[in-house]
Structure 1
Amino acid sequence: MLCLEFTIPPLPQFVTVGFAVWSPGDRHFARTFGVYDLLVVKRGTLYMAEQDREYAVGPGKMLVLEAGLPHEGYRSCEEDTEIYWVHFIHDGKPAYIRQEEIPWSSLLSRGTVEDEEPSAQQRLYLPKFASVDLEVLEPILQEMNEIHSRLNAGNALRLHVQLAAFMAALQEECARTALPEPAARLARAAAAYLDQHWREPFQLAGLQEELHFQADYITRCMKQHIGTTPLQYVLHLRLEEAKKLLGGTVLGIPEIAERTGIRDPNYMTRLFKARFGLTPGAYRRRLRHRE
């Protein structure tokens, strides 16, 4: 499955939403549109072409027609066809990525009280053309249409929230239907285990026993599909927790080291400085100075 990859923030911005029943013989006119046109078909088939690619969008399928690309109906509807559409805009041009190549488990830095901008590492993934679960999506689309039909200053924000929920549901559908190769599944299983045990003393033997694979193979799989070794993954979690405790508590460095599973405070200080460019104490002083 091909997906569109958008950099977020900003999130896509809502333009309009609608629902229609197209009769036999109806056909979409040709246009080059300045917004994204996301189509979801409930019943019947809509025949759309974008540039030189043709799509038969049947029941339970969705298609994203991209801003700036010409599209038109290449064939008329043959039966009553029920269609939802959502128009949105986004400042950046999307990249294309195969579903199986999406790095779902890649680690991202968490925001802290020090940050003045959101992380630029975040991505939104939308299927280009795919089957979807109408039982999940249709209630959101119906709610969006209901709000849009009686739009006012009091409910406008809800419409934008629903757009975000709709896109989150599409992305979850994309992740749910992904069929990663065995090595990717093992990498995710290892990450899930470490998410639960990162405060404990790090031992590759625990991973081996839990996952029934040799430590060297687990390490290679995590490095390939997540970008870190098991130890690097654990240290990332520990140092992110240390940042949170430095900014949100008055705990001393030894106590923070203990709470994050790092027995030696001096070792934590060295790790922290190597990762963030300053010692834990300097990091805390900078936070307090900004306050």
Structure 2
Amino acid sequence: MLVLEPGKEHRGYRPTDADTEVYWIHFQYPPTSKPMLVEKNNWQQPLLNRTDQDTEAHPGMVDVPKFTAIDLRIIRPLLKEMIKVHSVLSAYRSYELQTLFGRFLMELQNGMRKSSPQARSLFLGEKVASYLADHLELPFDSIQMESDLHYHFDYLARCLKQYSGMSPLQYRHHLQIERAKQLLVHSELPLIEIGEQCGFRDNNYFTRLFKRQTSFTPGEYRKRYQFIVMD
């Protein structure tokens, strides 16, 4: 595949010597932002700041290669479905077409990630992030993580750092505080029990860490943001 920049003249350097099927996709960038043509050497995925009170979508990003090889077994069915929808396009199906286009872009990006030199570390970074999310209620145990994921902890930590910008303990703390926020706002559980469900055996440590990351104690955060349902 090849991305042609708008406003420029493009031509091939020789005729094709094989039967060629061409799919053209025309798309526009928002007038407020222009594409950045950069060498892709970093796949870091820092977490966005979010709350339960978000009312607007957070900015997103997708990386599209200027030229690359693609897996037609995955891409061709998407392209054919896009053509099918476009042939009977209506106002309702326009969104369906945009959704298919979004999937198409994600497949291109995934292909870039899998073929990049950082593919293995990216995969392991995602794996460590999922592992930490699934083990929040248990004490942090680097030896157990090594045993479960079959890699040395230092290597797993480097992969997660490359993926998220955080160490395993920092990432775990972020997930713990996010879970605590949910429980404080949406439940009536005692503060000590909330700390335990988020993996804190020491309530004082839970309170100190929570205040360091949010500027509130757990009790103050609950009073400020808890939803109250009136009968």
* Equivalent residue pairs, number: 226
The sequence identity of aligned pairs, in percent, is 37
For residue 119 of structure 1, give the secondary structure of its aligned residue in structure 2. coil
Structure 2 counterpart of 1:82: 21
Which of 163, 182, 189 in structure 2 is aligned with 1:251?
189
Residue correspondence of structure 1 range 127-146 to structure 2 within 5 A? 127-146=65-84
Q: CA deviation at 1:212?
A: 5.9
Q: Are 2:42 and 1:101 equivalent residues in the alignment?
A: yes
Structure 2 counterpart of 1:278: 216
- Give me the TM-score of the superposition, normalised by structure 2: 0.80
Contact 1:109 1:240 in 2 (8 A): no
Contact 2:43 2:162 in 1 (8 A): no
Bigger proportion of residues as helix: 2
Q: Are 2:55 and 1:116 equivalent residues in the alignment?
A: yes
Structure 2 counterpart of 1:176: 114
For residue 129 of structure 1, give the secondary structure of its aligned residue in structure 2. coil
Structure 2 counterpart of 1:162: 100
Whole-Å separation in 2 of the counterparts to 1:67 and 1:172: 24
Q: CA deviation at 1:169?
A: 1.8
- Supply the AA of the counterpart residue of 2:166: T
Which of 224, 245, 262 in structure 1 is aligned with 2:200?
262
Q: CA deviation at 1:84?
A: 0.6
Q: CA deviation at 1:124?
A: 1.2
Structure 2 counterpart of 1:202: 140
- Supply the AA of the counterpart residue of 2:53: E
- Supply the AA of the counterpart residue of 2:181: K
Contact 1:219 1:229 in 2 (8 A): yes
For residue 65 of structure 1, give the secondary structure of its aligned residue in structure 2. coil
Change (3 A) 1:87 1:262: same
Whole-Å separation in 2 of the counterparts to 1:232 and 1:116: 27
Q: Are 2:87 and 1:149 equivalent residues in the alignment?
A: yes
- Once structures 1 and 2 are overlaid, which stretch shifts more, 174-183 or 135-144? 174-183
Whole-Å separation in 1 of the counterparts to 2:102 and 2:206: 38
- Once structures 1 and 2 are overlaid, which stretch shifts more, 167-176 or 76-85? 76-85
Contact 2:47 2:164 in 1 (8 A): no
Q: Are 2:6 and 1:63 equivalent residues in the alignment?
A: no
Contact 1:190 1:222 in 2 (8 A): yes
For residue 174 of structure 2, give the secondary structure of its aligned residue in structure 1. helix
- Supply the AA of the counterpart residue of 2:80: Q
Change (3 A) 1:123 1:101: same
Bigger proportion of residues as strand: 1
Deviations 1:194-231 (A, max 9, x none): 34323210122223444566545554554455322221
Structure 2 counterpart of 1:14: none
Structure 2 counterpart of 1:126: 64
**Unaligned segments of structure 2, at least 5 residues:** none
Whole-Å separation in 2 of the counterparts to 1:201 and 1:288: 28
